[in-house]
Chain A
Amino acid sequence: MIRHLDQFSRPSARKGLVTGFVTALLAALWLGAAQAETAPGDVDATGFTVPLDPDAAIPTYLVELNDGALLPETLIVPAKTRFRIQVRNIGTKPSEFESNQMRLEEVLFMGAEATMMVTPLDPGEYDYFDEFQPGVMGKLTAKEAEQ
């Protein structure tokens, strides 16, 4: 313990530590800025929607329901891969997230949140909507990754 402190108090080690700290801080700031830029539904360079956690084994996509509005209204996901949809009701009215084509149905009271697993989809287009506030139709596109 004391020896460690001793080591770090040596000028060269301290300099290394400071440099490392500054680098880490900059990296954190950069990452933070990068993350702040991705809103739900943003598409990455390969043409797919950016999941909540890009490193997760099973990607999760966020859909927010706001009094009939769907945020986002479009999602682009890899075909033949299972994924999750996390739905959050941020509006002032209850909603029912529904998709016959993806076999999903979830009633969400104000402030409620639910995560649903979606089975691997063939390439194609699938609807999702708020059954309690009809009007806006969300569109999820499943497509193969370009080689």
Chain B
Amino acid sequence: MMGNVIFIVARESVEALLVIGILWAWMAHRPDARAGKTWLIGGIVAGFALATALALALVGVATFLGNTARSWFEVAMLAFAAALIVQMVFWMRKNGRTLKRDMETGLDQSVARANWWGVFALAMIAIGREGSETVVFLYGTFLQLNTAGDFTSFFGAAAIGLGLAFVLFWALQVGARFVSWKWFFRITEWMLLFLGSALFLTAMGKLLNKHLAAYDLPGWIYSTVWDTTSILSDSSMLGSLLATLAAYRSQPIGWDVLMLALYWGTVALLFVWQGRQSAARPVTTTA
């Protein structure tokens, strides 16, 4: 049973610690790192509050919106987190080049402030969503404990699980220091974009199942496009981790493929648009 506690806690914390670990490492490369880290920590604290509120609703001791409203809230929260991730990556790409100059001249102050709210919200959602599930799991397990030995091994197991997830956080910080910044940024921005796609696909899956269930959409929307279950099932340990972090599906339907195309299409368009903007930029800013 305690092996299970370690496993669940580690797995549920991976997503949140990946987001926070990358943001934290990025902060270290900004001249205003201190302000950024304060916003990030604020988001983490708010995330724990959100996790507790959501967990209380799941346990059933409190009502948090109605059932329908709560599932809309979930869809909105996930889609918003995906949008924030994309926006964050683009902000960092833009500032990667001009960061120092803009910050020093104070040109970017108001833009930075808006983005700090983004950092705050992203950290809050990352912790709040997965955190609520962890809280329900731990609380439920906690209620079953009887002896002092039970309690000791329970807290030990939870700490080991969290510790394992923190290894990821630590690896990201070490990576940021020892890998060249250019490569670290390139790799982590893709990790974040993939995570964004996973959040978006989960949001759209909930939208289809819970809110569009009454409508008869065209048949291809519901049809399985391909089946790679025999190669890597998304129910397996690796497959479900890839599902959480990179939107892997072993039996996607038309809807899934359409939504992923929509996500990556938008990201690609933004890439192109940003490339044009920065190509035009030196002309307008050298004056």
Contacts and interface: CB of A to CB of B under 8 A. Distances in A.
A129 interface: yes
Nearest to A132: B137
Q: How large is the interface on B (under 10, 10 to 19, 20 to 34, 35 or more residues)?
A: 35 or more
Contacts of B234: 100-101
A104 interface: yes
B209 A118 contact: yes
A18 interface: no
B228 to A, nearest CB: 11
Contacts of B140: 93-94, 109-110
B41 interface: no
Contact of B251 (A105, A124, A132, A137): A124
A23 interface: no
B224 A124 contact: yes
Contacts of A48: none
Interface string A125-144: 11101011110010000000
Interface in B173-227: 202, 205-206, 208-210, 213, 219, 222-224, 227
B67 to A, nearest CB: 9
Interface of A is mostly: loop
A122 B224 contact: yes
B220 to A, nearest CB: 11
Contact of B206 (A93, A103, A107, A118): A103
A17 interface: no
Interface in B32-74: 58-60
Q: How large is the interface on A (under 10, 10 to 19, 20 to 34, 35 or more residues)?
A: 20 to 34
Contact of A117 (B133, B209, B233): B209
Contacts of B143: 110
Contacts of A125: 229
A117 B8 contact: no
B144 A119 contact: no
B240 interface: yes
Given A101-B234, A109-B136, A117 B250 contact: no
A25 interface: no
Contacts of B249: 100-101
A103 B209 contact: yes
A8 B197 CA distance: 72
A116 B139 CA distance: 24
Nearest to A116: B209
Most chain-A Cβ atoms within 10 A of its Cβ — which of B133, B235, B239? Answer: B235
Interface string B116-143: 0000000000000000110011011101
Given A101-B249, A124-B224, 6 more contacts: A96-B133, A100-B234, A103-B205, A107-B132, A116-B210, A122-B222
16 contacts: A80-B219, A93-B144, A100-B235, A100-B239, A100-B240, A107-B58, A109-B59, A109-B60, A117-B210, A117-B213, A119-B208, A119-B222, A120-B219, A121-B224, A126-B251, A132-B4
Interface of A: 80, 82, 92-94, 96, 99-101, 103-105, 107, 109-112, 116-122, 124-127, 129, 131-134, 137
Q: Ordered nearest first, which 4 A-B pairs have the shortest CB separation? A: A94-B140, A103-B205, A117-B213, A127-B235
